[in-house]
């Protein structure tokens, strides 16, 4: 997200979304395109996403959820 926002003034929101979603899917993060929020206002830009990752173990062919981690990633930049 940091790299994408640095060059955001030369890309459309859709181009930014496509580039970020490529990397998100590559890292197998549980994020859909609509979870990725892109805002432009007053010469600033903000990109954010929220998602949950479940830490689990498998024992005797059954999954046990141990903890759910909530992530709230946000970057903001003036351009």
Give the model confidence (pLDDT) of 24-56 as tens digits.
Answer: 999 999 999 999 999 999 989 999 999 999 999
Mean pLDDT of 50-78: 95
Q: pTM of the entire structure? A: 0.79
Task: Report the 10 Å Cβ neighbour count for 49.
Answer: 19
pLDDT of residue 48: 97
Query: Residue 47 in 3-state DSSP?
Result: strand
DSSP character for 24?
A: H
Sequence ranges of the domains in the chain? 2-78
pLDDT of 7 over the 90 cut: no
The whole-chain average pLDDT of the chain stands at 93
């Amino acid at each position: 997200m940091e790299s994408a926002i640095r060059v955001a003034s030369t890309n459309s929101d859709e181009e930014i979304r496509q580039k970020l979603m490529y990397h998100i899917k590559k890292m197998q993060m549980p994020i859909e395109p609509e979870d990725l929020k892109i805002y432009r206002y007053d010469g600033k830009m903000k990109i954010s996403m929220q998602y949950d990752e479940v830490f689990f173990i498998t024992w005797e062919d059954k999954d046990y959820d141990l903890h759910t981690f909530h992530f709230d990633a946000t970057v903001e930049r003036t351009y």
